Structure 1
Amino acid sequence: MNMSVLKSIRIFFALALGYMVLAIFVTNSYYQLILTLVLIWAIFGLSWNIFSGYTGLVSFGHASFFGIGAFATVLAQIYWGLSPWLMFFVSGIIGAVAGVLIGFPTFKLRGHYFALSMLAYPLALMYVFQWLGFPEVSIPRVHDNPAAYMQFTDGRVYTLIAMVFLCAVVVLSRAIEASRFGMALIAIKQNEAAAEAAGIDTLRWKLKAIALSGAIAAMAGSLYAVVILVITPQSVFGMLVSAQALTVTMFGGAGTLWGPIIGASFLIPIAEVLHAELGNFLPGIQGVVYGVAIVVLITAAPEGMFWKIRDRLRSRKEETSPVIADQPVAANVTPLPARETRGLNPEIVLDVRNMSKNFGGLKAVQNVSFQVNKGMILGIIGPNGAGKTTLFNLLNGFQLPSEGEVMVDGVNMARRKPHELCQAGVGRTFQIMRPFTRMSVRDNVKVGSYVTAKSEEEAETIADDALRQVGLLHIAHQLAGGLSTKDLRLMELARALAGKPHILLLDETLAGLGKEEAVEVVAVIRRLSASGVTVVIIEHTMHAMVQLVDRFLVLDHGQVITEGLPQEVTRDSRVIEAYLGKKWVANA
């Protein structure tokens, strides 16, 4: 573990020790119960956070796992005499399996459709258990060796058990945050398409996340049943249960270790005390507390209290810190030979055959065929709506072709997923920049290295080398969200390079750049080409493209109208009429 991980764990353990000292001196049984419930709901919040906080896929259905764990523990003791000590771990296995079974079909949905579909699972389970004849079940009391069945007269023992469980989950969560697992999940959250293009198998990582999250949630439900003694389908599968996991996490700050702990420590005692004092007069007062918390969250700290405080402290630190000027990117590179005189490698690395894509009656791409030599720079041009980006999406697996083949090194990669194309050596940047804004520049690029790196050390070495190639190593520790357009373009190029591609697909990499900035980026691309990387680029800045590319492929209405050397294509009457216009010839 790195130093920041160890530091946060030390801070947590110091706070946990103080919490247990407080628990020792609490003798009132109800307040002992509240102390235990704070820990259980913090664990449940952390389980929700491992999935929804890190991936950004909001789950309204985590009560499914919580309730499964609770009922499995109670029913196993009632019918088979199994100890909750055993069922605590068995519930985790059941929760993990349930996570995969729920996640696999549901991950096909996006946005609010995913969130609402997750809500259906606990509601369905609630009615199933009621139909099965379990409107209320209780843990059987054991008088002979009750400790073997996790039954204690002193409530502080349950607080200790819950704290040990919480410590284990905190260590696991912090390890995930600092690992390849956590980086992949955060990348998925911030931009799933960019994560997929960087080589991350998003479905596999999401299934791992929901399985682990479901296991922890089910174990939390198991412990909750033992502590509460009596459970009902409504109390463990109800909407308020999922709402508590979501609210405590988002109130504290989703996507961070401290969020669920802050939220549970603040909201659970308030809700429980108000319920005890006012529950007879105001039933449902707990829901009111969570509703108010959400309103406060939306108005005061939309991303949660942790992020609000951290960003404020960081801004103060930046105000008082001396400003250090960025080192300029080295733009004076040794000029390459003119493109028209450069000899090309005869090896064909990309062979596109009869590629077509139909959207209903619209033919976006029609029978497009071309070949790209190793180390070549091919420029794809054409008017808006010509089908250029659609063609890129077909080459990179983001869309499935209606027909055609994409031969990469002699292997047909059509209809393969983006991460499979990345593993095959095809890198990609996007027309609209897709940074992982809350990650540093180095971490953004490191995500791209995971497709080949076998360890974190190797990933960091690859990331630094890619940043060095594009001239951004000096700002590796800056947050990506604060970069200029040029640096964002170069960072995305570095992220693609970190996957060690031999083919780069660049979608309008010069868009939004000034003349001098475009020159710097063009210099980087030419260096990459000189090193043997094959580049296929879409771009509208024709003066830069003429100096950059070896050949042009011109599209119009999804069809190839011509292909050839830059000086030939820019004088072709069909290209002038469809794309360049007569002014180009006059000013060329």
Structure 2
Amino acid sequence: MKAFRTSLILLLAAAAYLGLALAVENSYHQLILTLVLIWASFGLSWNMLSGYTGLVSFGHASFFGLGAYATVLAQIHFGLSPWVMIPVSGVIGALAGLLIGLPTFRLRGHYFALSMLAYPLALLYIFEWLGLQEVTFPMKREDPAWFMQFSDPRIYTAIALAMLLLFIQITRHVERTRFGMGLIAIKQNEAAAEAAGIDTLRLKLKAIALSGAIAGATGAFYAVVLLVVTPISVFGMLVSAQALTVAMFGGVGTVWGPIIGAAILIPLGEILHAELGSRFPGIQGVILGVAIVVVILVAPEGIFWKARDSWRKRSKGLAAGPAIPRTAGPGSFAGAGPAPLARRELSDEIILDVQSLSRSFGGLKAVQDVSFKVRKGMVLGIIGPNGAGKTTLFNVLNGFLRPDAGRVIVNGVDMAGRKPHALCAAGVGRTFQVMRPFMRLTVAQNVKVGAYVKARTEPEAESFAARAIAQLGLSDCAARLASTLTTKELRLMELARALAGQPRLLLLDETLAGLGQSEIDDVIAGIRSLSAAGITIVIIEHTMQAMVRLVDEFVVLDHGEVLVVGQPQAITRDKRVIEAYLGKKWSARNA
């Protein structure tokens, strides 16, 4: 119903815009109406990569310019029509995206942004060196419509509108698929997305290819409208800046952002350029710069998100209101107060076999020759003083770090050095010491991201997610945004997200951190429910009072090495553990 309503609004807005274009007679105003649509399309292209993945691109002019030059040169040398070259330019843009993305996605943050800037600058100098400083479309007296040479400029506006509607539909489709959900997860927290089973490199390559395709096709049509192509007009810094600015100003990561930004900034910039350009050269660049400053100060994610969040805050009180209280029920652990774990008979099947694992950082040996086995259904606790190598060990087990030596055998297969998403697909789930929720997604959406690694269809993913949410007592807040949850609810949600991927082994990194005593009891009850369901658990935790009630066996690390392995009662009385980690006061209090 919501999708139908959005489509109806979109069609009505398009009809109104087309009606305005048909009513306008001034050719310059008509050109502005066309440019608004072109830059909105280009903004959607930038948004497809940077808006949804969070990887800011300063180099989208590369795809735009390649599409423009391909179209004009194809007509000059081969007599090909723009009707043919616009989709071909889309293919060229997609291929360029893949060629650029493969090396550049190795970088992060501002390094990625700056490296993207290098590509259009290089292409600008290459095309100038080739002597293509100014290339004009040849006039076609015969069959001009086939070469998109119309005497009525309103036809260009209609074509630009049709292209924009197509790109909007592509973007909306992406938003509704697991591809789009995966991109949003990457933007919110790439490490968590990878740990949830998302092949982040593959999704980013798909995103830059689709982004490049939209940019290439848009650049091709832009060249047709202007009739002349120069390196600076299609590869210049202002071109990439326009795409970035209209998307950031209107709202990143949403289909409406680039449209809002283009509708406001392009007419403003063009009119000021026409009126003041002779006295103030570069006035359009000034407008873009001012727009970026304003949006950073007032609405860092853009007008759309600012307006939406304000509306939700006023109408529903979600964004600033307190957490919704939950009463104890079939899926709730409130007041559970777990008793000490009774010793259990465990299976002899080995789920995880760590053999002589080592990892160094320069001269620092963070993990040294660590070996242990985890049997099916076991809850294994890894403890040790700060700096003992616990989290490094987890990052090696989970694929975020490659071991220098050793084996990580999961269900009989050596997975040492495999990527986190591959380990997740093999049945290894992971939570983090510092919580990594996808804040702008609901609880149900967060958990559904974790289900994609095993679910083949959307209904199956929703079923896996609903089951995990119910098992961890989060059904009452499934529709709430993750940004509104309490610390305990966030911890349980991360457990649910890991559980939705149907793991056989869960790695829990300080899941009890930041919780009060009653909240610790609730989360322990949740972990026990997972163990009772047959999931093997390895947990790092500093809260020893809770750990001795939870685990079947301890592995104690000190200076990256295994100090001792044993059951809780034996470990808490071991003199080496007391000296290295627990201390005599803890031992006296808990004797």
Q: Aligned equivalents of 1:508 and 1:488: distance in 2?
A: 13
* Alignment of structure 1 residues 111-150 onto 2, 5 Å: 111-150=109-148
Post-superposition CA distance 1:473-496 (Å, at most 9, x none): 110000001110000000000000
Post-superposition CA distance 1:221-278 (Å, at most 9, x none): 0000000101100000000000000000000000011100000000000111111222
Aligned-partner residue type, residue 459 of structure 1: A
Aligned-partner residue type, residue 105 of structure 1: P
Aligned-partner residue type, residue 494 of structure 1: A
Q: Which residue of 2 aligns with 1:356?
A: 358
Q: Which residue of 1 aligns with 2:66?
A: 68
Post-superposition CA distance 1:29-49 (Å, at most 9, x none): 111111000000000000100
SS of residue paired to 2:346: coil
Q: Which residue of 2 aligns with 1:560?
A: 562
Q: Aligned equivalents of 1:530 and 1:301: distance in 2?
A: 47
Q: Aligned equivalents of 1:334 and 1:33: distance in 2?
A: 68
Q: Aligned equivalents of 1:86 and 1:114: distance in 2?
A: 33
Q: Which residue of 1 aligns with 2:247?
A: 249
Once the 2 structures are TM-superposed, how far is the Cα of residue 331 of structure 1 from its aligned partner?
2.1
Once the 2 structures are TM-superposed, how far is the Cα of residue 326 of structure 1 from its aligned partner?
2.9
Once the 2 structures are TM-superposed, how far is the Cα of residue 295 of structure 1 from its aligned partner?
1.6
Q: Which residue of 1 aligns with 2:392?
A: 390
SS of residue paired to 1:581: helix
Which runs of 5 or more structure 2 residues have no equivalent in the other structure? none
Post-superposition CA distance 1:158-183 (Å, at most 9, x none): 00000000111111111111211110
* Alignment of structure 1 residues 398-413 onto 2, 5 Å: 398-413=400-415
Q: Aligned equivalents of 1:337 and 1:521: distance in 2?
A: 13
Aligned-partner residue type, residue 147 of structure 2: Y
Q: Is the 8 A contact 1:357 1:366 kept in 2?
A: yes
Q: Aligned equivalents of 1:337 and 1:579: distance in 2?
A: 24
* Alignment of structure 1 residues 335-374 onto 2, 5 Å: 339=341, 341-374=343-376
Q: Is the 8 A contact 2:578 2:584 kept in 1?
A: yes
- Are 1:221 and 2:219 an aligned pair? yes
Q: Which residue of 1 aligns with 2:476?
A: 474
Once the 2 structures are TM-superposed, how far is the Cα of residue 282 of structure 1 from its aligned partner?
1.4
1:210 corresponds to which of 205, 208, 211 = 208
Q: Is the 8 A contact 1:275 1:286 kept in 2?
A: yes
SS of residue paired to 1:471: coil
Q: Which residue of 1 aligns with 2:26?
A: 28
Q: Which residue of 1 aligns with 2:326?
A: 326
SS of residue paired to 1:554: strand
Structure 2 CA distance for partners of 1:287 and 1:304, relative to 1, 3 Å: same
The worse-fitting range, judged by mean Cα deviation, of 552-561 and 333-342 is 333-342
Post-superposition CA distance 1:177-201 (Å, at most 9, x none): 1211110000000000000000000
The root-mean-square deviation of aligned C-alpha atoms, in Å, is 1.5
SS of residue paired to 1:404: strand
* Percent of aligned pairs sharing the same letter: 66
Q: Aligned equivalents of 1:101 and 1:493: distance in 2?
A: 38
Once the 2 structures are TM-superposed, how far is the Cα of residue 338 of structure 1 from its aligned partner?
5.8
* Alignment of structure 1 residues 369-380 onto 2, 5 Å: 369-380=371-382
Aligned-partner residue type, residue 413 of structure 2: V
Aligned-partner residue type, residue 8 of structure 2: R
Q: Aligned equivalents of 2:336 and 2:222: distance in 1?
A: 68
Post-superposition CA distance 1:270-305 (Å, at most 9, x none): 111111222222111110110111121122111111
SS of residue paired to 2:432: coil
Q: Aligned equivalents of 2:159 and 2:482: distance in 1?
A: 41
Q: Aligned equivalents of 2:185 and 2:4: distance in 1?
A: 23
Q: Is the 8 A contact 1:5 1:178 kept in 2?
A: no
Post-superposition CA distance 1:503-554 (Å, at most 9, x none): 0000000011111111111111111111110000000010110010000000
2:229 corresponds to which of 225, 228, 231 = 231
Q: Which residue of 1 aligns with 2:430?
A: 428
Which runs of 5 or more structure 1 residues have no equivalent in the other structure? none
2:451 corresponds to which of 449, 452, 474 = 449
Aligned-partner residue type, residue 58 of structure 1: V
Aligned-partner residue type, residue 431 of structure 1: Q
Aligned-partner residue type, residue 189 of structure 1: K
TM-score, normalised to structure 2's length? 0.97
Q: Which residue of 2 aligns with 1:51?
A: 49
Q: Is the 8 A contact 1:5 1:175 kept in 2?
A: no
1:171 corresponds to which of 155, 169, 172 = 169
Post-superposition CA distance 1:68-116 (Å, at most 9, x none): 0000000000011110000001000000000000000000000000000
Aligned-partner residue type, residue 99 of structure 1: G
Q: Is the 8 A contact 1:440 1:479 kept in 2?
A: yes
Q: Aligned equivalents of 1:320 and 1:507: distance in 2?
A: 29
Structure 2 CA distance for partners of 1:15 and 1:381, relative to 1, 3 Å: same
Q: Which residue of 2 aligns with 1:419?
A: 421
Aligned-partner residue type, residue 38 of structure 1: V
Structure 2 CA distance for partners of 1:547 and 1:318, relative to 1, 3 Å: same
Post-superposition CA distance 1:190-216 (Å, at most 9, x none): 000000000000000000000000000
SS of residue paired to 1:501: coil
Q: Is the 8 A contact 1:38 1:264 kept in 2?
A: yes
The worse-fitting range, judged by mean Cα deviation, of 324-333 and 288-297 is 324-333
Q: Aligned equivalents of 2:265 and 2:83: distance in 1?
A: 29
2:12 corresponds to which of 4, 10, 14 = 14
TM-score, normalised to structure 1's length? 0.98
Once the 2 structures are TM-superposed, how far is the Cα of residue 339 of structure 1 from its aligned partner?
4.2
Q: Is the 8 A contact 1:5 1:174 kept in 2?
A: no
Q: Which residue of 1 aligns with 2:577?
A: 575
SS of residue paired to 2:353: strand
